[in-house]
Amino acid sequence: MGVIARRLALGCSVFVVIRQSLKRRAWSTRDVETVRMGRQHAQVVPLNGGSLAAVVTSHASTALLSDELVERCVDSARSRGFVELRTGALGLLEQGVYLRAGFETRSELRVLAADVGQLRLPANGRWEYRECGSDMHPALAEADLSAFGEDAGFGLLMLREVLSATPQTAVIGAFDRNGGLSGYAVFGKSRGIGYVQRLAVIPAARRRGAGSGLLGAGVAWMRGNATKRVLVNTELTNTPALNLYRDTGFEDQPTVLSTLTSRLG
């Protein structure tokens, strides 16, 4: 996912650990750490509670990160006990600094785009779609972990990082008839463009329209917010998601993004 108001926006998350030179404290693997160097800063965010991976995120105000900042993020993650540091979705230009620091490609992502007005999203009465407040965040993180698995699922801190990636955000849950949460999605808007930031349906509820319904609810939110164009990215190997987006009218874009990873042995 890409780079907008912040690098998380296209579904990407660039996490960085910021070691503060003046105020030192003992960072744990449960903290988000901000690493600052001059005007640049990045955050290192734990992926989820059960994993030893963290993600580096940077902000729009930060141009391409310096080699030194990325090295400090790596050092910080390693010293906190993380065994892996990942980036969010990066374009070619942004990858250089990480590749120089020894990161390798973890996954490749297809960018898809659509005109909001042209998407085909039939209503699905099986689920109820509602905006979710912060009281729902723990349940959303649980659903995320269930949908993406331990290796890629977001915990609360990552979820909050996604929510803060764009100036405008909608978080929508899909609820079954008993009020159980079956899935959720995060949509963002920045500079007139809409983004599908996260889309997750728990395995037990799949293939019954919850995913396309969530997409439809997000598109309705975008239409109400005068958003004309919407972007999403997903792994080249994620056939369910690619089918879902293509079937509803998204078109493949030539850009391929990558997430990178560094093992912190």
Ligand X SMILES: CC(C)(COP(=O)(O)OP(=O)(O)OC[C@H]1O[C@@H](n2cnc3c(N)ncnc32)[C@H](O)[C@@H]1OP(=O)(O)O)[C@@H](O)C(=O)NCCC(=O)NCCS
To ligand X, the closest distance from the beta carbon of 183 in angstroms equals 6
Task: Give dist(CA 96, CA 106) in Å, integer.
Answer: 15
Contact pick of 61, 79, 105, 243 for ligand X (by CB under 6 A): 243
Closest to 143 (Cα-Cα) out of 177, 172, 111? 172
* Contact characters 132-171, ligand X, x per CB under 6 A: ---------------xx-----------------------
Structure tokens at 113: 């785009």
To ligand X, the closest distance from the beta carbon of 96 in angstroms equals 25
* Contact characters 180-199, ligand X, x per CB under 6 A: -------------------x
Q: Strand order of the sheet with strand 229-235?
A: 33-37, 40-46, 53-58, 84-87, 251-263, 104-115, 229-235, 193-201, 181-190, 168-175, 128-131
Which lies closer to ligand X via its Cβ, residue 148 or residue 175?
148
Q: Which residues does residue 206 pair with via DSSP β-bridges, in sequence order?
A: none
Q: Does 36 bind ligand X (CB under 6 A)?
A: no
Residue numbers 198-237 binding ligand X by CB under 6 A: 199-201, 206-212, 234
User: In this structure, which amino acid lies at residue 196?
Assistant: V
Task: Give dist(CA 4, CA 25) in Å, integer.
Answer: 31
Which lies closer to ligand X via its Cβ, residue 78 or residue 246?
246
Contact set with ligand X (CB under 6 A): 147-148, 199-201, 206-212, 234, 238-241, 243-244, 247
